Structure 1
Amino acid sequence: MRFETSSHHAAIKDTIATENANPSIIDFGETLAHKSPYKASWLSQFSTLLQRSFVSIMREPLVVKVRTFQTVFVALLLGLVYLQQDLDQEGIQNITGVLFLFCTNMTFQNLFAVINVFCEESLVFMREHFNGCYRVDTYYLSKMIAEVPFFIFIPMLFTLILYWMIGLYSSASAFFTCMALVVLVTNVATSFGYMVSCLSGNVEIVITIVGPLIMPLMVMGGFYINVMSIPVYFIWLQYLSWFKYANEALNINQWINIDSIECGTNNRSCIRTGEEVLDQFNFKKDNMGFDIGLLFVLIFGYRLIGYLLLLLRTRKSN
């Protein structure tokens, strides 16, 4: 009886009455809690996951050393095979061939380096995500950004060794343009690898499907088939192929400033200039900017698709 007549009891009654009169306050809190199940802010999640990704890479120095050794070994091997090419009719075939090898080697070496990134951690990611530890986007971004320095260093090292051993066009601007293009190829390939890795949590399935997915894109590169000979029902594939854009840009960079190519005595049909080489493959010298722009588009496009696929997997598992 004394409590019911006290001021404390009256204050409690006023609080209850206020809450009953304003149910939107409670509803808003419930809605907010439902929409924000994470225990930390976006920035905190991202910085923590980025640090964890860096630590994970540094804990495997042997993998980094092996990949670096692989790059140096392949570059030296190709450099010895294509050592100091002459600007003659045979040299045209050899140089165009090795330029395409820039694309294919950097693609396969680095694509298979990331193809299991989101497969191996699938169960851990799902458990931590559904426990409210972090969002899908913070996890996805942190994994990619942590590996960016490595996928810039590797193609730069590869180009630095191979470019001068082959004897490609001797110009600082041409060399750095070639290096930039090989870096872009590497990062498009890793973007494609991330995308395929997000398709499934099963590594065996991902490895099985990546071959059939990448083979038609490589064929559309303009080396195995002239770009003007591609069947009309497959033309759309070349717009998804970084091989096409990179191969054309690398050849433009190599041949556009070469005004004289040796013919030899036994060559009836002789290609005399770099522009004639480009014409033979139906490469357009004005497409350099377009090709570079499309490589950037593919980098972000494939990574965006990968994020959407990973997000879709979490929705299906929810």
Structure 2
Amino acid sequence: MGYHCGQHENPADFYLDLMSVDQSSAERMQEGETRVQQLITHFQSFAQNNPDIYTAATLPRSHLSIGASTPNDGSNSATNLDNDAATDVPTEKDALSPHQAQAELTDRLRSGTDSSDTTWALPWVKEFYVLTKRCWTATIRSRILIFAAAGQALLMTLLMGFVFFQMDRNQSSIQNRIGLLFFLPINIMFSVVMPMQSVFSLEMAVMARERSGGTYRISSFYLAKFITALPFSLLFNALYSTGVYFLANLQYEVDKFFIYFALILLLVVVATSFGMATGALFPNIQMSQIMAPLLIVIFLLFGGNLVNVDDMTPVLSWIRYISPINYIYIALAKNELTGLAFTCDGGDQSGCLTNGDDVLRRFSIDSLTIGTCVAYLIALLAAYHAITYASLRWKAKPRFIWI
């Protein structure tokens, strides 16, 4: 037919390109339709010249299963085969050609739902297991990224630990504690989101191609990717935040440490889902890499530290309600400062803040409880998951037509 697969080109991708129609322009669409029609004509000619192969191709899967029933003995073989041929072979009216079956599957995928009447190769649980195994294998093979993340965590632990080393409980330490508790979530957001949205943006092209053939469900792919993205992020940020906690001399109380630790882990999960949402929402990786840091900076501005929430203009003050940095900052500050006593430095003590509750009121971060902040973070987590899933469903729809 004159089509040649390149020496280093994947044959499966080459065949898919031949069978798909590019709708980006009228000329390419016409060219693709002509090529596909030529393939159909050659296949029909092949089917007419090879009726035995064509009949086998249109049989239901049950007839082609290795474990199908067999005759009890050799004497009944011919009879059973004749009966099977008479009763089980589909007629021309009932059988779907491979082309018709693929067109029907494509229409179902375009409908936007993984409906129960769609036939999938594997059950959901098995599908999820296979995808999780594949994603985890790809993750642990990216040794450069793992070593880079570990090096970043170690460097930031030492840097922040010694910048805020062994803070006292005087008036100057108030600013240091507030600064540390605000910078910590910002650093975690950037370190988790940027690698996550870059990798996820690249993998979506593979997902869209595999989904066009009905390979797996969106839900199993997304959940597998999300779960396998968490372990290393949780591990490195747990070590990083723990090292900073003790080097900076935050409160050495068991309950406060574990609340702090749980809040950091929750932030990592939220940041991971936010990174996947930005990777899925925007059309390409270049746009994602521009928009993700821009959104984090906006969250930073309305995080409750740089600008007092009481002084924000009503036109923009609503942004703080969708800022995860705002909630994690308030929760960390309330956990650390509540019950903490500060000494006055001498001289004029009229503006001296003697306890953490005074500090919380001074910075206008006393309106929410830790539990309320956690609830808002979980709500944002659910919203990011919904955005990612909806974006994946939209992008997974086939962009070609079947003739």
Could you state the TM-score of these two structures normalised by the residue count of structure 1? 0.86
User: Contact 2:211/2:217 (CA < 8 Å) preserved in 1?
Assistant: yes
User: Contact 1:72/1:161 (CA < 8 Å) preserved in 2?
Assistant: no
Partners of 1:286 and 1:119 lie apart in 2 by 35
Matched, 1:44 2:126: yes
Residues 113-167 of structure 1 show CA distances to partners (whole Å, capped at 9, x for unaligned) of 2011332123221111111211111111110011222222122111110001101
Partners of 1:232 and 1:98 lie apart in 2 by 28
**2:10 aligned partner:** none
Aligned length in residues:
297
Shift of the alpha carbon at 1:240? 0.9
Match of 1:178 among 260, 273, 281: 260
Match of 1:262 among 343, 354, 371: 343
Partners of 1:169 and 1:159 lie apart in 2 by 14
Partners of 2:348 and 2:277 lie apart in 1 by 47
Shift of the alpha carbon at 1:37? 4.3
Matched, 1:281 2:363: yes
Letter in 1 for 2:155: F
SS in 1 for 2:281: coil
Partners of 1:200 and 1:275 lie apart in 2 by 42
> Which region of structure 1 is more displaced relative to structure 2, 225-234 or 79-88?
225-234
Indicate how the Cα distance of structure 1 residues 261 and 219 shifts in structure 2: closer, same or farther if over 3 A, else same.
same
**2:381 aligned partner:** 299
Shift of the alpha carbon at 1:201? 4.8
Within 5 Å, give how 1:137-148 maps onto structure 2. 137-148=219-230
Indicate how the Cα distance of structure 1 residues 267 and 168 shifts in structure 2: closer, same or farther if over 3 A, else same.
farther
**2:272 aligned partner:** 190
Partners of 1:71 and 1:52 lie apart in 2 by 26
Partners of 2:330 and 2:256 lie apart in 1 by 14
Partners of 1:226 and 1:63 lie apart in 2 by 38
Partners of 1:122 and 1:292 lie apart in 2 by 30
Identity among equivalent positions (%) equals 27
**1:5 aligned partner:** none
SS in 2 for 1:263: coil
Could you state the TM-score of these two structures normalised by the residue count of structure 2? 0.69
Within 5 Å, give how 1:14-29 maps onto structure 2. none
**1:77 aligned partner:** 159
User: Contact 2:208/2:398 (CA < 8 Å) preserved in 1?
Assistant: no
User: Contact 2:303/2:329 (CA < 8 Å) preserved in 1?
Assistant: yes
User: Contact 1:188/1:295 (CA < 8 Å) preserved in 2?
Assistant: yes
Letter in 1 for 2:227: I
Instruction: Point out 4+ residue stretches in structure 1 off by more than 4 angstroms.
Output: none
Task: Identify, as 1 or 2, the structure richer in helix.
Answer: 1
User: Contact 1:220/1:237 (CA < 8 Å) preserved in 2?
Assistant: yes
SS in 1 for 2:251: coil
Match of 2:334 among 234, 245, 252: 252
User: Contact 2:304/2:320 (CA < 8 Å) preserved in 1?
Assistant: no
Which runs of 5 or more residues in structure 2 are unaligned? 1-81, 95-103, 109-116
Matched, 1:127 2:187: no
SS in 2 for 1:239: helix
Partners of 1:305 and 1:74 lie apart in 2 by 31
Shift of the alpha carbon at 1:184? 1.3
Shift of the alpha carbon at 1:302? 0.7
**1:207 aligned partner:** 289
User: Contact 1:151/1:183 (CA < 8 Å) preserved in 2?
Assistant: no
Partners of 2:279 and 2:245 lie apart in 1 by 32
Cα RMSD, aligned residues only: 2.5
User: Contact 2:208/2:397 (CA < 8 Å) preserved in 1?
Assistant: no
Report the structure number with the largest CA radius of gyration: 2
Partners of 1:135 and 1:227 lie apart in 2 by 43
Shift of the alpha carbon at 1:175? 1.0
Within 5 Å, give how 1:98-177 maps onto structure 2. 98-177=180-259
**1:231 aligned partner:** 313
User: Contact 2:300/2:325 (CA < 8 Å) preserved in 1?
Assistant: yes
Partners of 1:133 and 1:200 lie apart in 2 by 24
Partners of 1:290 and 1:315 lie apart in 2 by 38
Shift of the alpha carbon at 1:44? 1.8
Shift of the alpha carbon at 1:50? 0.4
